[in-house]
């Protein structure tokens, strides 16, 4: 679970919770006004509970952005690269997402179920895939799924991922994606407008 805890996922989940909670609150107010309730106590408690969730969610999102802004300043970098990183992460995750295809007549239901499980694990592992841009370099990080079948599918995408990243911003040149020999982590680094390739950014078991 810790592999999926990153700033990109925090932003995604807080925005999702924010939109869902706000929608439920507005719908609740509409239904309350349309119904003749004998007591408003339960309705008021429910509405205030939703607003508490909203406040907490906005607070998490605000502090996540504030911390990222502070980190960029500490590294003498620009916050616009954080926005660029978020967009690139979203794009590369969408690019790598596996789509379930309709089974052929020859494929049994058991084979299809197994295939769907493999694909689901690949897509779940993409939550650990991140792209972070800096002014002079960029870093791709990710983690392979635990099972070999799903790992093979993702590893086959490594050359395509590299090519897609290089297409996203031609001023950044990504190196080949390399898996850490001591773990399932993989990474790639890029430099901007020069040929100096950085060493892999981390080794995490």
Structure token digits, residue 90: 């979203």
Whether the predicted model's global pTM rises above the 0.75 cut: yes
**At which residue do the structure tokens 């907490």 appear?**
56
Whether 32 shows a pLDDT value over 70: the answer reads yes
User: Can you tell me the distance from the alpha carbon of 86 to that of 80, in angstroms, rounded to the nearest whole number?
Assistant: 10
Per-residue pLDDT tens over the stretch 75-109: 889 999 999 999 999 999 999 999 876 666 555 66
Whether 171 shows a pLDDT value over 80: the answer reads yes
Helix (H) or strand (E) holding 52: helix 41-74
The residue ranges of every structural domain in the chain are 1-76, 77-205
Structure token digits, residue 129: 């895939």
Q: How far is CA 61 from the centre of its chain?
A: 15
**Of 195, 175, 194, 192, nearest to 78 (Cα)?**
192
Please count the other Cβ atoms lying within 10 Å of the Cβ belonging to residue 147.
13
Q: 15-19, 38-42, 72-76, 102-106: which has the minimum mean pLDDT?
A: 102-106
Instruction: List residues bridging with 192 in a β-sheet.
Output: 172
């Amino acid at each position: 679970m810790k592999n999926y805890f990153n700033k990109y996922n925090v932003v995604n989940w807080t925005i999702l919770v924010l939109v869902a909670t706000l929608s439920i609150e507005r719908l609740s107010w509409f239904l309350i006004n349309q119904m003749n309730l004998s007591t408003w106590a339960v309705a008021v408690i429910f509405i205030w509970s939703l607003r508490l969730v909203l406040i907490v969610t906005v607070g998490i999102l605000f502090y996540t952005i504030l911390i990222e802004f502070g980190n960029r300043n500490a590294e003498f970098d620009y916050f616009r690269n954080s926005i660029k990183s978020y967009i690139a992460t979203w794009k590369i995750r969408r690019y790598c997402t596996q789509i379930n295809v309709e089974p052929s007549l020859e494929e049994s239901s058991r084979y299809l179920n197994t295939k769907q499980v493999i694909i689901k694990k690949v897509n779940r592992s993409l939550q650990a895939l991140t792209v972070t841009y800096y002014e002079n370099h960029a870093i791709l990080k990710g983690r392979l799924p635990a099972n070999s079948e799903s790992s093979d599918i993702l590893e086959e995408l490594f050359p395509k991922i590299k090519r897609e990243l290089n297409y996203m911003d031609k001023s950044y040149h990504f190196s080949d994606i390399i898996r850490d020999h001591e773990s399932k982590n993989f990474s790639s680094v890029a430099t901007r407008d020069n040929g100096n390739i950085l060493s892999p950014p981390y080794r995490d078991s």
